[in-house]
């Protein structure tokens, strides 16, 4: 079914239960997903359970956007369902990597990520992507991007940083985590952004939550036209989204959710959103998201 769909569609996505058909007309879809088997090129241990997986997918690399994601599986493994992973590196994001390579940043938490960490170069994986809607660039030159990441939620920001570098060579970034070991790629970000870190145990940066230095910056620059880009655990997304709404700032949230398919069939990744008036409905993170405007959320 996916292969027969048009490459660019404008209508809203919906799912027909009776026909078991997905009509993927996601709001900002610009390219069709591909389902490939490819080889692991590198699987780098970054320490503290953080890993950077690299694989070859030149056609995806040419069309994918920051914060879109893949469904990745390991053929013949104990995990039957594929797992979602945000794209971390696109073509040119990491200067020393091959042009057709793509990267995902992940943290070993359970069986699936444990099996992924055990893969050596040359191992085969299945990759379905690009999926979902990604971050969008600021509307005009006067808008300043501000990145807010929580833990492994830093994953989409290398690609976003690279996509914006011609207009915004060194944006502000606020990066929070439980401890210093959870600040994956912090040295890399430190060289390329105006980085402020925060840890709940005080082992790096500000002792506390990432919202504290973010609020301090917003208080210092009340007249600046900012757009927040946020990815991390749901409590952080809610806190930053609420803060953006209170201060009338544009804010895009990259949501995380468990999902079985990645393209709208299983309905396992729905989140509450505002509809017309006071009505609350549900959108799928895999299709209407993972990037959603903070004003849409009905948490």
Do 149 and 122 fall into the same domain?
A: no
Residue 71 lies in a domain: yes
Return the pLDDT at 21.
36
**CATH number reported for the structural domain that contains residue 53 in this entry:** 2.40.30.10
User: What 3-state class would DSSP assign to 249?
Assistant: coil
The residue among 131, 153, 170 that closes a domain is 131
> Cβ distance 149 to 231 under 8 Å?
yes
> What is the pLDDT at residue 30?
52
The answer to whether residue 139 sits within a structural domain is no
Give pLDDT, residue 287: 96
Q: Is the peptide bond before 130 cis (omega within 30 degrees of 0)?
A: yes
> Is the same domain home to 104 and 153?
no
Q: Would you say residue 242 lies in a domain?
A: yes
Residue 164 lies in a domain: yes
Total structural domains within the chain: 2
Residue 288 CA to residue 267 CA, distance in Å, equals 12
Mean pLDDT of 76-93: 92
The 10 Å Cβ neighbour count of residue 150 is 27
Closest C-alpha to 45, from 98, 105, 91, 90: 105
Residues 104 and 183 in one domain: no
Q: Each residue of 122-179: pLDDT tens digit?
A: 999 999 999 999 999 998 889 999 999 999 999 999 999 999 999 999 999 999 999 9
Question: Are residues 193 and 150 part of one domain?
Answer: yes
Say what the pLDDT of residue 277 is: 82
User: Of 131, 165, 199, which residue constitutes the final position of a domain?
Assistant: 131
Cis peptide before 290 (omega within 30 of 0): yes
Q: Sign (positive/negative) of CA torsion 217, 219, 220, 225? A: positive
Q: Are residues 106 and 39 in the same domain?
A: yes
**pLDDT at residue 107 above 50?**
yes
Domain identity same for 105 and 160: no
Residue 247's domain spans which residues?
144-256
Residues 112 and 189 in one domain: no
Cα–Cα–Cα angle for 151, 155, 204, rounded to 5 degrees: 35
pLDDT of 241: 98
pLDDT digit string, tens, across residues 182-202: 999 999 999 999 999 999 999
Say which CATH number the domain at 243 has.
3.40.50.80
Residue-wise pLDDT for 197-221, tens only, equals: 999 999 999 999 999 999 999 999 9
Report the SS3 class of residue 118: coil
Percent of the chain with pLDDT over 70: 90
Query: Residue 184 in contact with residue 107, Cβ under 8 Å?
Result: yes
CB half-sphere exposure, 14, CA atoms < 13 A: 7
Is 294 within a domain? Answer: no
As to burial, measured by CB atoms within 10 angstroms (0-12 exposed, 13-18 middle, 19+ buried), residue 107 is middle
Condensed to tens digits (0 to 9), the pLDDT of residues 24-44 reads 444 444 578 999 999 999 999
Residues 122 and 161 in one domain: no
Question: Which runs of consecutive H residues, i.e. helices, occur in 124-172?
Answer: 157-164
pLDDT at res. 284: 97
For residues 81 and 241, give the distance between their C-alpha atoms in angstroms, rounded to a whole number: 31
């Amino acid at each position: 079914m996916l292969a027969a769909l048009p490459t660019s569609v404008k209508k809203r996505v919906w799912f027909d239960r009776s026909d078991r058909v997905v009509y993927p007309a996601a709001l900002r879809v610009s390219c069709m997903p591909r389902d490939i088997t490819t080889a692991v090129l590198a699987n780098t241990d970054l320490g503290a359970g953080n890993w950077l997986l690299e694989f070859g997918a030149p056609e995806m690399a040419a069309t994918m956007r920051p914060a879109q994601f893949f469904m990745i599986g390991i053929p013949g493994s104990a995990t039957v369902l594929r797992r979602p992973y945000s794209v971390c590196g696109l073509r040119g994001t990491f200067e020393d990597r091959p042009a057709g390579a793509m990267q995902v940043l992940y943290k070993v938490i359970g069986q699936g990520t444990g099996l992924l960490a055990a893969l050596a170069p040359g191992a085969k994986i299945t990759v379905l992507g690009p999926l979902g809607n990604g971050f969008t660039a600021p509307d005009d030159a006067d808008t300043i991007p501000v990145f807010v990441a929580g833990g492994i939620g830093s994953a989409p920001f290398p690609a976003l940083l690279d996509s914006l570098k011609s207009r915004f060579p060194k944006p502000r970034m606020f990066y929070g985590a439980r401890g210093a070991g959870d600040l994956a790629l912090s040295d890399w970000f430190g060289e390329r952004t105006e980085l402020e870190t925060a840890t709940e145990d005080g082992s790096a940066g500000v002792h506390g939550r990432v919202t504290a230095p973010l609020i301090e910056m917003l208080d210092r620059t009340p007249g600046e036209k900012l757009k927040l880009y946020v990815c991390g655990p749901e409590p952080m997304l809610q806190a930053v989204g609420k803060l953006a709404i209170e201060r009338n700032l544009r804010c895009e949230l990259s949501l995380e959710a468990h999902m079985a398919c990645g393209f709208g069939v299983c309905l396992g990744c729905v989140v509450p959103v505002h509809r017309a008036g006071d009505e609350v409905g549900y959108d799928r993170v895999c299709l209407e998201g993972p990037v959603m405007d903070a004003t849409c959320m009905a948490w």
